[in-house]
């Protein structure tokens, strides 16, 4: 099995997302972290590189130099992984794409839709080289739910409900860091941070595109510059209706991402906190619990049934798809640049609708 050399920008040891990405890389056995610019502070960047065992010559203090020098090396990185605050996603991605190095980037794509559109136009020919870390599309049972919808197990869809609830910002004194600063995290707050995940999940599984939305955007903790709760009505193609509730102040909720789809024949539910099971319900009151890696589930798994797959395995599946892509294989379920642009359109439409007291607002593509 080929091992691909990769580099990371941001994500020094001890950072949540940096550690998650490194663990997921290790699970695949198909990548080796060989370079990094792991902090914007030069001394911390060097110390982080040393802590991770990087060659000192490839522990960079400047990501533009990293892109240039890695592109010139015969053993240079095959993928740049971006785990910086949101404001840095586009400039860092642009430097590596310009150097001919594919990118896997945390979401959201940018701070504004205008920025995202300019970027998409500039790199239109490299859209497949820009991978977005919409993690939840990597869960095996999310992909199985998508397959069930496509094969007609639910019949024609009528409704889509998705919610993503957390409580880590419920306390007024919670330290949200750069995520609560619109200059570094963007104006979307919870809509950009986790709402984009929920929105991507709804479209990914249903196969439908949201055409318009009506949003109530709230700052439930006084004094915050960005929203911490949003309740949004969705209107999909084919007259399918839906709703999305996203909150980071939902007391008692850890990472409660739940998707429900309702069709003419059946309903289907997936819950991220119990990720190995789908619940298929019919009008006669019967419920079928579909277990990952069961004999009736053709969607591939990383582990045998009864050995839980979770967040890290979902990330690992995205990285396994990425390894296939780097090796010249198709990876049709891997989120690309268009998924990042779509998420940015969702954020802007939600904020616009909220500012107009819930007026229905069209998504522009």
Here the CATH number for the domain that contains residue 146 is 3.30.360.10
Helix then strand then coil, in percent of the chain rounded to 5, is 40, 20, 40
In the structure encoding, which two tokens stand for residue 55, read together?
A: 């060659």
**pLDDT the model gives residue 296:** 86
Same domain membership, residue 16 and residue 154: no
Taking only the tens place, the pLDDT of each residue in 308-342 is: 999 999 999 999 999 999 999 999 999 999 999 99
Taking only the tens place, the pLDDT of each residue in 20-45 is: 999 999 999 999 999 999 999 999 99
* Residue 364: band (very low, low, confident or very high) from pLDDT cuts 50, 70, 90: confident
DSSP 346: H
Same domain membership, residue 55 and residue 10: yes
Q: Indicate whether 211 pLDDT > 90.
A: yes
Same domain membership, residue 144 and residue 102: no
| CA separation for the pair 50, 64 (Å, rounded) | 20
In the structure encoding, which two tokens stand for residue 135, read together?
A: 């993690």
Q: Mean pLDDT over residues 118-145, rounded?
A: 97
Residue where the block lists tokens 């409660």:
256
Same domain membership, residue 227 and residue 87: no
In the structure encoding, which two tokens stand for residue 212, read together?
A: 């318009």
- 31 belongs to a structural domain: yes
Secondary structure class of 49 (helix, strand, coil):
helix
- 131 belongs to a structural domain: no
**pLDDT the model gives residue 226:** 97
Q: Mean pLDDT over residues 156-170, rounded?
A: 97
**212, burial (CB in 10 Å: exposed 0-12, middle 13-18, buried 19+):** middle
| CA separation for the pair 94, 78 (Å, rounded) | 15
- 121 belongs to a structural domain: no
Taking only the tens place, the pLDDT of each residue in 254-263 is: 999 999 999 9
> Which letter, b or e, does each residue of 98-122 get, where b requires 16 or more Cβ atoms within 10 Å of its Cβ?
ebebbbbbbbbbbbbbebbbebbee
When divided into structural domains, the chain yields a total of: 2
Same domain membership, residue 142 and residue 92: no
Question: Which domain covers residue 302, as residue numbers?
Answer: 136-362
Which neighbouring-strand residues pair with 260?
161, 269
Same domain membership, residue 260 and residue 146: yes
Same domain membership, residue 100 and residue 42: yes
Same domain membership, residue 149 and residue 73: no
- 130 belongs to a structural domain: no
- Name the pairing type of β-strands 130-132 and 103-105: parallel
Q: What is the mean pLDDT of the chain?
A: 96
Q: What is the pTM of this model?
A: 0.96
Same domain membership, residue 346 and residue 264: yes
CATH of the domain at 78: 3.40.50.720
Q: Indicate whether 358 pLDDT > 80.
A: yes
Same domain membership, residue 173 and residue 293: yes
Of 338, 328, 298, which is closest to residue 141 (Cα–Cα)? 298
């Amino acid at each position: 099995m080929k091992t691909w050399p990769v580099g990371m920008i941001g994500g020094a040891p001890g950072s949540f997302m940096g550690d998650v990405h490194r663990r997921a890389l290790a699970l695949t056995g198909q990548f080796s972290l060989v370079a990094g610019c792991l902090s914007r502070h030069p001394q911390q960047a060097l110390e982080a590189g040393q802590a991770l065992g990087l060659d000192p010559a490839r522990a960079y203090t400047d990501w533009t130099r990293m892109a240039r020098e890695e592109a010139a090396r015969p053993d240079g990185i095959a993928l740049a992984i971006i785990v910086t605050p949101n404001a840095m996603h586009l400039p860092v991605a642009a430097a590596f794409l310009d150097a001919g190095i594919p990118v896997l980037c945390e979401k959201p794509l940018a701070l504004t839709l205008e920025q995202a559109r300019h970027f998409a136009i500039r790199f239109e020919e490299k859209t497949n080289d820009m991978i977005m870390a919409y993690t939840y599309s990597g869960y095996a049972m999310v992909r199985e739910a998508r397959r069930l919808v496509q094969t007609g197990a639910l019949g024609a869809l009528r409704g889509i409900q998705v919610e993503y609830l957390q409580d880590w910002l419920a306390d007024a004194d919670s330290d949200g860091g750069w995520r609560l600063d619109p200059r570094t995290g963007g104006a979307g707050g919870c809509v950009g941070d986790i709402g984009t995940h929920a929105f991507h999940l709804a479209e990914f599984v249903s196969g439908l595109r949201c055409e318009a939305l009506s949003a109530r955007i709230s700052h439930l903790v006084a004094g915050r510059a960005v929203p911490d709760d949003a309740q949004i009505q969705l209107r999909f193609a084919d007259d399918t209706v839906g709703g999305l509730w996203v909150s980071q102040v939902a007391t008692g909720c850890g990472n409660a991402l739940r998707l429900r789809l309702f069709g003419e024949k059946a309903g289907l539910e997936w819950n991220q906190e119990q990720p190995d099971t789908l619940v298929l319900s019919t009008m006669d009151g019967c419920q079928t619990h579909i277990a990952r890696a069961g004999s009736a589930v053709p969607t591939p798994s990383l582990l045998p049934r009864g050995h839980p797959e979770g967040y890290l395995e979902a990330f690992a599946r995205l990285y396994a798809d990425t390894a296939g892509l780097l090796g010249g294989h198709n990876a049709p379920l891997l989120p690309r640049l268009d998924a990042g642009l779509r998420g940015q359109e969702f954020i802007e439409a939600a904020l616009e609708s909220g500012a107009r007291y819930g007026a229905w607002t069209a998504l522009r593509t």
